[in-house]
Amino acid sequence: MPNFTLEVATTEPHNLGEGPFWDEKRGNLYYVDAFVGDVCKLNPDDKTVEKKHFGDGVTTIVIPVDNSQDEFIVSYSKKILHFNWKTDEKSELAEIEAGNDKTRLNDGKCDAKGRLWMGTVPTVAEPELGSLYRVNGPNNMTKHFGNVNLSNGMAWSNDSKYMYFADSMKRLIHVFDFDNQNGEISNDRILFDYNANRDAKPTELPDGMTIDLDGKLWVANYYGGRILNIDPNTAQIIDKIDLPATNITSLCFGGPNLNQFYITSAYRDITDAQRKNEPLAGSISINVFPLKFGKS
């Protein structure tokens, strides 16, 4: 593991920073403050943060639209929205599980062909209400996987033959065979079981994830205070990055050379005493590596 330098991208506190997306064309980091209902844009040059408030619901992803300067896809509670950053105009593209008040959207990501995948989570204390969907177009969705406790991070192998998917509350990372041509998953199995791995902390939950150019997974760990580097070929932890906050939510590669980790965190779900001891909880930090690691 190369040495890295930890920097603070912004000290502005976030209740629960999530869904970081590095936009190579704009040179900005986009992310959400989920339970505040904000979508955020970080300018890394002057460390300023511009926020767009969506309301009292939960924002979970913000993804730039290709070949557009101001258009984004945003998930807000149960809806997937088209959003214009410049005009603040919003239009609904889809509502997942309409009429079911026991679920909402959570994490999401696009595959190599630009298809959006979204997971749902329960809003009530009932198990296995979550699911994994592929969004095909306006109000056109396909459910691919169910009985999930808390849908979270996603990633694909560099050859798009495999899809990885975290169920946080079950403390599992699934792997599926992935048909990139048709956007289909099959052959579900467990890649990494936190409950059975002796190197996993008993408290930590897999959250957001990304994958590097060598095909290794990097997984943020809520209640774990660290990022785990997992080799999908061996299903073993090959490295760890400890961080000065308990609740690490997600990460992505960014920077001009894609050799930086942008890491989101939360001060949600920690005590006042913990927050005093973790002044960077809820901040956005950067780990800078001396080589090119991957893509958003």
Q: What is the pLDDT of residue 285?
A: 82
Residue 266 domain flag: no
Q: Is the predicted pLDDT of residue 123 greater than 80, yes or no?
A: yes
Q: Is 277 annotated as a binding residue?
A: no
State the Cα–Cα distance between residues 165 and 183, nearest whole angstrom. 15
Question: Cα 120 to the chain's mean position, in Å?
Answer: 13
Q: What is the pLDDT of residue 144?
A: 98
Q: Give the number of domains in the chain.
A: 1
**pTM exceeding the 0.85 threshold for the entire prediction:** yes
Task: Give the model confidence (pLDDT) of 131-178 as tens digits.
Answer: 999 999 999 999 999 999 999 999 999 999 999 999 999 999 999 999
Largest CA distance in the chain: 51
Residue 89 domain flag: yes
CA dihedral 105, 108, 113, 114 (to 10 degrees): 70
Residue 155 domain flag: yes
How much is the mean pLDDT over the chain? 94
Q: Is 184 annotated as a binding residue?
A: no
Q: Are 268 and 35 in contact (CB under 8 A)?
A: yes
Residue 96 domain flag: yes
Task: Give the model confidence (pLDDT) of 198-207 as tens digits.
Answer: 999 999 999 9
DSSP β-ladder status, 103-110 and 162-167: unpaired
Q: What is the pLDDT of residue 295?
A: 58
Task: Give the model confidence (pLDDT) of 281-290 as tens digits.
Answer: 998 887 765 4
Residue 41 domain flag: yes
Q: Is 152 annotated as a binding residue?
A: yes
Task: Give the model confidence (pLDDT) of 42-53 as tens digits.
Answer: 999 999 999 999
Q: What is the pLDDT of residue 76?
A: 98
Task: Give the model confidence (pLDDT) of 68-115 as tens digits.
Answer: 989 999 999 999 999 999 999 999 999 999 999 999 999 999 999 999
Task: Give the model confidence (pLDDT) of 225-280 as tens digits.
Answer: 999 999 999 999 999 999 999 999 999 999 988 888 999 999 999 999 999 999 88
Q: Is 214 annotated as a binding residue?
A: no
Give the catalytic positions in this structure: 207
Q: What is the pLDDT of residue 286?
A: 76
Range of the domain at 237: 18-256
| Cα angle 30-33-38, degrees, rounded to a multiple of 5 | 80
| Gap between the terminal Cα atoms of the chain | 20
Q: What is the pLDDT of residue 292?
A: 47
Residue 72 is part of a domain; what is its CATH number? Answer: 2.120.10.30
